[in-house]
Amino acid sequence: MEADGSWADITGTGSCGADQHACGGGIEALGTVRGRLGIDAGSFGGPFGPVLLYATGGLAVGDVHGWDSLHGGSGSSVLAGWTVGAGVEVMFAKNWSAKLEYLHVDLGDHNIFSAVPPYPEYVTTKANIVRAGINYHFDLAPPPAPLVSKY
């Protein structure tokens, strides 16, 4: 299991309505809770340790903002959706690893605000994310008990 959170500045624009005026939306914060399932792909040798190739997926939650230029309306909402992806993680020192990961996030198509009430403005929120990271692995297992000889 893995959980993460980040501030974001992911934006997109488009055309809305019959007159095709500008509108858009974006993700201002994003968090995920995901499971990871992988295989040990061996080792590169040298200073690098085991390599993990993995697939990941789970819950995504984002603070989504939408706007409409013609009517000056805007709004924000916290939305839940899903995410899937894949990555590679390499141990490079005791308790330390580096990873490269791809995630597809889909927070759905939701009514965020009404530019001209009562007509809702829907924002479709999807993102493709590539990120790199460094992880520290806590060694929470207690050390083995010393062997005590009775002789």
What does the pLDDT look like over 110-133, one tens digit per residue? 888 887 777 788 888 999 999 999
> For 2-136, CATH number?
2.40.160
Predicted confidence at residue 114, as pLDDT, reads 83
Q: Find the mean pLDDT for residues 37-42.
A: 89
Yes or no: say if 59 and 79 are a contact pair by the CB < 8 Å rule: no
* pTM as predicted: 0.80
Yes or no: say if 8 and 18 are a contact pair by the CB < 8 Å rule: no
What does the pLDDT look like over 8-36, one tens digit per residue? 888 888 888 778 888 888 999 999 999 99
State how far Cα 92 lies from the chain centre. 24
Residue (of 32, 29, 40, 30) closest to 1 by Cα position: 32
Predicted confidence at residue 121, as pLDDT, reads 80
Predicted confidence at residue 149, as pLDDT, reads 62
Calpha distance 125→103 (Å, rounded): 14
Q: Find the mean pLDDT for residues 95-108.
A: 95
